[in-house]
Amino acid sequence: MSLRMHLVCSFLSFILLMSVGCVGLYASAIPEESVDILTRTGQAMADVAEAVKPAVVNISSTRTERIEESPLAPFLKDPYFKRFFGDMFREPYLPRKRKAVSLGSGVIVSPDGYILTNHHVIKNADKIKVILSDHREFDGKVIGTDPKTDLAVIKIEAQDLPTISWGDSDSLRVGEIVIAIGNPYRLGHTVTMGIVSAVGRANVGIADYEDFIQTDAAINPGNSGGALVNARGELVGINTAIFSTTGGYQGIGFAIPSNMARRVMKSLIEKGRVIRGWLGVSIQPITPELARQFHLEEERGSLVADVFEGSPAEKGGIMRGDVIIEYDGKRVDEPYYLRNMVASTPPGTEVEIKVIRDGRIETLWVTIGELPSEAREERGAGMYENALRGVSVQELTPELYKEMGIPERIRGVIISDIEPDSPAATRLRKDDVILEINRKAISSVEEYEAVVSKIKKDEDILLLIYRNGSTLFVTVSGER
């Protein structure tokens, strides 16, 4: 070997030894204690996921959707039209129905087959299929749904099923580690981890009663109805929605707190519907201007804009202009806090309410009643066999006037939901305000019911509605 080759080999050997030494140096720079902590943390998360995954199921619901006929439909049976065009327009444009499939997740809450999921996962479903973690399949039966919280309970015929223990969502703190389990993008049981980003999120626009847990644990389409668990493997939330501009994960997901879900589930199973407490007031938030006008030291509480006649609030001495700052020993910062607390109070319960009136704090005792609008809204959605079948309406509240930017001169009822197979589905929209029906003014749910209940199945309906800042007439054809 020449001297040059010997020097080259020696240099390469030196470089190789140095590299190995550096690798060892960098590897040994990680303290064994740190490696041990991370290893034990990973093992702990794996243990939690392994324990709770069997109680999370995949849900596939099938529903029938009606496809509207083409404007050319009247011509399709014309012999002259067929003579020139044949069957060119027949198949795509004839009225028909199609099957739509919705995918989601659910949580087994009892060994005998009760499953908690989202209302929107099984809404209008003709058939529900539930797939367990061990790949067994069952048909699901709807026990009850609550669109106001986007929750639903279904049941499968099975025994000795795995469940998740309930956690106390009220004790959740921002920064806690949570795990989301569900069925995103048909991928089956998927586990993601994150932290609690915020609690008590409202005014998101997902449901009527909102008190969401916000998390950065990845929640994607298909996760709806799945479990959000804490580090102890306890159910603290039902995954419901994501905030996204792309349709995918962007670090903001929302879950319904387990305490709210548990109350709704219990009521649906035992009563077949959700029974909510009712105070009987219209409330609004405190703005800086209102705080000055009412001489308030803090911009918090719920300002009573109106008290309904004969309501629990009127009987308990609550007056227009009162600012409710405490309910049953709990601080009231925003109107939605009060609304959620009243709704979760069993009717017949006497509660202590503190208000600021004329600059002084007064204590009142009010016996909570049962929310009367539940039955009215259910009837508005499904009891009519005419062109407004499947249209749900509700009263216009001060909150809706403000949230929707509706002028005070507008009086009517607002559409809260329209079923896809409703004859009015192509003519009306959610959030339309119905002002008149067949030239009769509508200012309440009762007036809406009184008019709609007299309309025949094949009768065409003329409506005056408010939409996007203007009023317009709309006709809905009866079913013939």
- Separation between Cα atoms, residue 9 and residue 53, nearest integer Å: 57
Determine contact, residues 445/453, Cβ cutoff 8 Å.
Answer: no
Q: What number of other Cβ atoms are within 10 A of residue 456's Cβ?
A: 11
The single residue of 60, 120, 189, 258 carrying the catalytic annotation is 120
Determine contact, residues 253/218, Cβ cutoff 8 Å.
Answer: yes
Q: Is 235 left (phi over 0), alpha (psi -120 to 50) or beta?
A: beta
Known catalytic residue: 150?
yes
Q: What number of other Cβ atoms are within 10 A of residue 169's Cβ?
A: 25
Q: What is the distance, to the nearest Å, from the Cα of residue 370 to the centroid of all Cα atoms in its chain?
A: 23
Determine contact, residues 121/61, Cβ cutoff 8 Å.
Answer: yes
Dig out the tokens for 206 from the structure.
Answer: 């997902």
H/E stretch holding 331 reads: strand 330-331
- Separation between Cα atoms, residue 102 and residue 64, nearest integer Å: 11
The single residue of 146, 150, 211, 322 carrying the catalytic annotation is 150
The single residue of 224, 311, 392, 416 carrying the catalytic annotation is 224
Determine contact, residues 117/59, Cβ cutoff 8 Å.
Answer: yes
- Separation between Cα atoms, residue 294 and residue 386, nearest integer Å: 49
Determine contact, residues 244/181, Cβ cutoff 8 Å.
Answer: no
Q: Which long-range contacts (C-beta less than 8 Å, at least 24 apart) are formed by 75-83? A: none
Cα atoms found within 13 Å of the Cα of residue 129, Cβ hemisphere only? 10
Known catalytic residue: 224?
yes
Determine contact, residues 196/149, Cβ cutoff 8 Å.
Answer: no
Q: What is the set of active-site residues?
A: 120, 150, 224
